[in-house]
Each structure stands twice: as structure tokens, then as C-alpha cells.
Amino acid sequence: MAPADVKIRIAEITGCDASHIAAMGGGCVGEVWKIGLSDGRTLVAKTGAAGSGLALEGTMLRRLAELSRLPVPKVLHADDGLLLMTFIETAGGLTAAAQRHAAELLADLHGLHGNAFGFECDTLIGGLHQPNPSTASWCAFFRDHRLLYMAGEALNAGHLPSRHMHRVEALAGRLDRWIEEPEHPALLHGDMWTGNVLCRDGRIAGFIDPAIYYGDPEIELAFSTLFGTFGEPFFERYSGLRPLQPGFFEERRDLYNLYPLLVHVRLFGGSYVGAVDSILTRFGV
């Protein structure tokens, strides 16, 4: 959508003229714009085409705002052509203080329980379809709707070699060796990496780009370490609020990180296949 068209749509939705519009980085499915309105408000607009998933992104943000106390942008409008949200001011990065604040927010989020693993609708991760059928068993959900599903998508895209698919299938058949059923399905943000964590002066200002569902909090914690988002300050504070079970760092972290790595294989291929290979080898397949 051209900037002029974005301005017209925003005026229709907000009743205010867009006095300033500037491109921002970070869009997976379309352009991202910072919008200054004539009444002094600042918004973020994401634009896309039919099937972009922007409407679903808006739904996820709204559901997080309704269900939890996690700070997220307020959604003003959401369809696949335009997602319009409040702008979150940032200053500084993930300092130790910000990590401790993130731990408190996520421990609170993970205290929200669902009746089953999955969600009320399918969601998205990195613009990719993420199935969430209601499932009584976490092990079955992680096996069928995370590992096997995303490995199959990566295989069909030509990014995952068939021999690796067979190895993922072999590991999927043995998950109960390492994974126990959590006490409750917990609400997850679902895409916990640095780019989705907004900070301001040693505090968390907001979380963006969710991929929500009810699952085991350990998969969220594992993902937060994959690209170095959170470290010791986070885990010290989090474990003081929600103690970690033995074996998380030693085994289950790598096992759970197969899912986001397979997402990256599906999207990009390349070196991420090697990372998947290393974890499969570690687990004997």
C-alpha cells in the first residue's frame, strides 16, 4: 500500500489526518510505517495483502490484552490490508533490570491457565501458519502440531532434507523420554526473541508480534535463549517466581528449540539446517 493510500485509510479509521509518515524496519509480511496524527498521537501501521495474517496478528494482540497484563500495543484496526496500533516509545536495550522486569511479566503470563493445549484459533509465527487444535496432552501437541508439522512444512518448501525429516520423526516418537506433562496449559507469547521485546529505561515497554497459544512455559523460556534474548538476570528472577524443573538447561531447552529452528529452516533454510542437525545428533537420531 502506497504512503498516500495509508494516509487515506488512517484518516478514515481515526478521523484525523496523518501529518507525518515514515517507513520503519521489521515487517515480515508487508511495510511498516510510523504515523504522526494531527491530534498529536503516534501510531504504527502495518500493511499487507489478502492472506497476510495481519488480521490474525491484531486478534492475538487483542486477546493478550484481554487475557493478561502483558504490555502490548493497543489495536485500533486490524484486517489483512492494514493493522493499526499505538506506538510504543523505546529507549535502551535489555539491561539486567529490563530482563528482571521481563521475568516478572512472563511469570505472570505463564500463571494464566487454559483448559487444553492449543488455542481457540490457529495463529501465526513469523508469518507462517501455526496450528492450535485443542489437545489434552502436551507431548502429543508438541509432537504433532509443532515438531512434525513445521518439519513437514520445511520439507515441502525444499528447505529440509528428507533424511532430516526422518530423524525428526524418529525423535518425535521418543519425546516421552524427556518431556513430562506440565501441571497446566499456560498462556504463551510464543515468539520470544529480542526483536519482539521493547524496552524503555530499564523496563519492558511492550511485547509485539505474538504467536500465542497455551503450552508448556519451558518452550517459551527455551526460545528466549536461542538468539541470546534473555540471560542470567532473567532466569534468576523468573526461577524465584516460578521454579524451573531439573533438566531444563541440560536437555529440554535444546529439544524445545527445535521448533523455532524449524520455523527458521522453513523460512530461510541455510545454516539453520545445521543447527537442527546438531540437536538431532545430540538426542541420538
Give the three-state DSSP class for 124. Answer: strand
Q: Going by C-beta distance under 8 Å and a sequence separation of 6 or more, which residues neighbour residue 199?
A: 90, 91, 92, 93, 94, 95, 98, 205
Question: Nearest Cα to 193, choosing from 24, 69, 28, 62?
Answer: 28
191 is catalytic: yes
Residue in 45, 217, 35 with CA at minimum distance from that of residue 142: 217
Per annotation, catalytic residue among 5, 39, 122, 191: 191
Residue environment code for 212-221, b if the CB has 16+ CB neighbours within 10 A, otherwise e: bbbbbbbbbb
CA distance 205 to 88: 7
Q: State residue 170 phi and psi, 5-degree precision.
A: -65, -45
Which uninterrupted H or E stretch holds 236?
A: helix 232-241
Residues labelled catalytic: 191
